[in-house]
A and B are shown apart, each in its own frame.
Chain A
Amino acid sequence: QFYTEYIYHNIIAKGYLAISRLVYKAVDRIIIDGFVNGVASATSNYGKPISRLQNGKLNYYALYMLYGVVFVFLLLILIFKGGILHV
């Protein structure tokens, strides 16, 4: 039979299975799903320190608001006077 059975079973079929399993573990689980779960845990890890900003003290909130207002004004000045957008 010119070893066709042997080649088929042991090289093509088993090789295909082995490559598939390797790709599943390396690419699908570690790279793609690892990235997805990494984004999820990064969000919750960064969220924890940032959540301390919400400390219930009104004077802090007023300060954040001031920062925000200054930022928006700077942005508007940049847009209208800085020539980013010609209006």
Chain B
Amino acid sequence: MSSILNIAIFLPLVGAFIVSLFRNEWLTKVVSIAISGVVFALSVILLVNFNPNTHHFLYRTNVPWISSLGINYDVGLDGLGVSLFTLTALIFFTVFIWAIKVKEKPTLFYALFLILETTCLGTFSALDLFLFYLFWEGMLVPMYFIIGFWGHDRKIYAANKFFIYTFFGSLFLLLGLATMIVYGYFISGHISFEYDFHRHIAYPLWLQIILFVLFGIGFAVKVPMWPVHTWLPDAHVEAPTAGSVVLAGVLLKMGTFGFVRYSLPLFPQASKIFIPVMFVLSIIAIIYAAMMAISQTNIKKLIAYSSISHMGMVTLGTFALSVSAINGASYMMIAHGLSSAALFYAAGFIYDRFHSYEISDLGGIAKYLPNFAILFMISGLASIGLPGFSGFVSEFLILLGTFKYFPMWAIVAGVGMVLGAAYFLYMYKNVMLESASLPESKIQKLQHTMDLELHHIIPFVLILFGAFIMGIMPYNFVNIVSQTSKLILGRF
């Protein structure tokens, strides 16, 4: 089984080299879709065969790589890892289908996305700190070019801001990793980058605090937490649809994944000290970002701010330090990955058809594009946490777990969620409904606009089906991540 994991991680990278040899753009697209489809199938095999009763890393490969520095090629998946791995594979599969009509430099576009897929899958499965950092940083390069080449008007500004901002955060992470390795060398006498090795070191409190802050800055920029969030709306607005979907669906999860995988188990005492700080920042993110979302005139910016609000919910659950809250946070990473991807597809479809993201340019679409209206509504309701979809389960678990130990915070967060629902309904009303007040010229245009095509419907259906399945049978999925949560809490 471990070879399946290795194949799934590196098949897209090999694919990127293969498609770059092709001269025929259709061949490139078909091969890319096939490769991402195979990777998705492999990830489903890994998910189905995952044993939820163990907290060990499964599908493990551990071979020496740079042995003089103690660096190994070490990959494996725990419950959270396998869930995010499958999510990543699904999101990329849908992205390749969606982007089939891309006109500018299609080969480069598909090759960059294939490289990005490898780095994302690698980040979630790396168990060697060096390998983790390599994948973590490697992801910036293709994303930079994706925003910079295929973006909209201010793409260079957005690409630079995205790159420099997240790179700035990553440097703190690098400093933290280096400190950790050096400390490990001092107490054990050999250099080791192994995650397992560092998990069993009891760091002194002062070092834990320093490391928590260094790691925390790196992860917080990626999440993004308030107040280091301003790169996200800019990056989202300027990125092409496929880039936004990957950014919201996969890349943001790396930050919260980092908190759960690294910060909590490696620095437990420091995490406990920082609970109030993380809670305040999370609550601010939930309420503040919900307010920012409703004040936007650009639909993509609105969805971007709604992502920040949801990620605030994830960080709240992560630091509530109870099994159900961490389960809920893990669940929300997947749920938000699905629902925000669907919402960005919807925004991308609107832009394809009407060439604008501004709410004032749109209106009354529902009457003329009914299929799109239905799928957009379902995506939005999944996002704001309607019962029956994955978002509801995750919000419920987070609030339940938080309420147990920190009831006041849970109540404030719950109020924030209500404000959150407002922005989607407000946007939907202004973009899709209100057809009575439309001018004649717009109605003419709407009547000649084509509804969803097959390459739009497949991604929507796959993603919403995932959100629906996770909403109606949450037990199986919570079961997968709960051993990870229990193991983390065992350290406290």
Contact = CB atoms under 8 A, between A and B. Distances in A.
Interface of A: 16-17, 19-21, 23-24, 28, 32-33, 36, 40
Given A36-B165, A40-B164, A23 B292 contact: yes
Given A36-B165, A40-B164, A21 B295 contact: yes
A24 B165 CA distance: 20
Nearest to A22: B295
B294 A16 contact: yes
Contacts of A19: 291
B318 to A, nearest CB: 23
Main secondary structure of the interface of B (DSSP, over half): helix
B307 to A, nearest CB: 15
Contact residues on B (Cβ < 8 Å of other chain), bracket: 10 to 19
Given A20-B295, A28-B292, 9 more contacts: A20-B291, A20-B294, A21-B295, A23-B288, A32-B229, A36-B161, A36-B165, A36-B231, A40-B161
A20 B292 contact: yes
A38 B238 CA distance: 21
A21 B426 CA distance: 14
A36 B295 contact: no
A12 to B, nearest CB: 10
A23 B295 contact: yes
Nearest to A21: B295
A36 B294 CA distance: 23
Nearest to A36: B230
Contact of B291 (A23, A32, A33, A40): A23
B227 interface: yes
A79 B288 CA distance: 47
B292 A24 contact: yes
Nearest to B229: A32
A41 B164 CA distance: 13
Contacts of B422: 16
6 contacts: A16-B291, A17-B295, A20-B292, A24-B295, A24-B296, A32-B230
Which 3 A/B pairs are nearest by Cβ-Cβ distance? A20-B295, A20-B291, A21-B295
Interface of B: 161, 164-165, 227, 229-231, 288, 291-292, 294-296, 419, 422
Contacts of B296: 24
B230 A33 contact: yes
A23 to B, nearest CB: 6
A59 B294 CA distance: 61
A3 to B, nearest CB: 21
A23 B296 CA distance: 11
Nearest to A27: B288
A28 B164 contact: no
A40 B229 CA distance: 15
A57 B224 CA distance: 45
A53 to B, nearest CB: 23
Contacts of A33: 230
B90 to A, nearest CB: 32
A20 to B, nearest CB: 4
Contact of B230 (A16, A20, A23, A28): A28
Contacts of B295: 17, 20-21, 23-24
Contacts of B419: 16
B164 A32 contact: no
Contacts of A20: 291-292, 294-295
Nearest to A24: B295
A84 B165 CA distance: 36
Nearest to B165: A36
A21 to B, nearest CB: 4
Contacts of B294: 16-17, 20
B295 to A, nearest CB: 4
A19 B294 CA distance: 10
Nearest to B164: A40
A40 B231 CA distance: 13
Contacts of A40: 161, 164
Contacts of B291: 16, 19-20, 23-24
A21 B292 CA distance: 7
Contacts of A16: 291, 294, 419, 422
Residue of B165, B227, B295, B419 with most partner-chain A CB within 10 A: B295
A76 to B, nearest CB: 20
B221 to A, nearest CB: 11
Contacts of B229: 32
A16 B287 CA distance: 12
Nearest to B297: A21
A28 B231 CA distance: 11
Contacts of A23: 288, 291-292, 295
A80 B295 CA distance: 58
Contacts of A21: 295
A32 B227 contact: yes
Question: Most A CB atoms within 10 A — which of B230, B296, B419?
Answer: B230
Contacts of B230: 28, 32-33, 36
A28 B296 CA distance: 12
A23 B294 CA distance: 11
A18 to B, nearest CB: 9
B391 to A, nearest CB: 22
A21 B164 CA distance: 28
